[in-house]
Amino acid sequence: MDRGNTWIFGYGSLIWNPGFEPAEQVLGRLSGYARSFCMWSIHHRGTPEEPGLVLALDSDDAATCDGMAFRVPEHSHDKIIAYIRERELVSSAYLEERVALTLRDGREIEALAYVVDRDHEQYTGHLDIETQADVIARARGGRGPNTDYLYSTAEHLTDLGIEDRTLTQLAALVRAKL
C-alpha cells in the first residue's frame, strides 16, 4: 500500500465521522456497488438480542454509489489504517476491498472500501423499506440509536449534494413511525 497515496471511500458514517483528519477529501463515485441497509448491526447500532441496521456496499453491477474519498496523511498512515480496520472489521461482516473510484475532479484512483460479505450471518439480503424502518426505529447499540446513524447519513449526503432517494424516503418513514 502506497503510504503517500492511500485513499478510503466513505459511503455511510465515514462521511460524517471519519475519525481522522484526511490529507485531502473529494467527492467520488464507485461503480458496481449500491449503498444499502443490508447488514445487521450487533455492536454499534444494535445488540445481538435486538440488532439494528447499518449501511454496506452491496455488489450490484448496475449501481453506482456516491460518497467521499479521504486521502490518508502519510505521517499517520499506519495508525489511521489500524483505526479504520478496527472500526470497520469489528465483526468480519465487511470485507476490505481495493476499488476503482472516479473523483468529482476527474481523477481515477484506487481506494479501500468496506464491502458486505454476503456469506456472513450479518448480511440481511434485501429487506423491504417498511422492515428497515421498523428495525431502525427501535434499535440502539454501543454508539447510540440506529435513528441517529440514519438521520446523520441522510443529512450529510444532502449537504454534500448527493441524492439518495432511498435514504431520504427511509428517514421520512422512520420519523413518521416515531
The three grid cell numbers given for residue 97, joined into one nine-digit string: 476491498
Instruction: Give the containing element (helix H, strand E) for 170.
Output: helix 165-177
50, 86, 88, 155: the catalytic one is 88
Count of CA atoms in the C-beta half-sphere (13 A) of 22? 19
CA distance 30 to 67: 8
Count of CA atoms in the C-beta half-sphere (13 A) of 2? 10
**Taking Cα atoms as reference points, which of 107, 105, 109, 86 lies closest to residue 96?**
86
Verify whether residue 86 is a known catalytic residue. Answer: no
- Active-site annotation, residues: 88
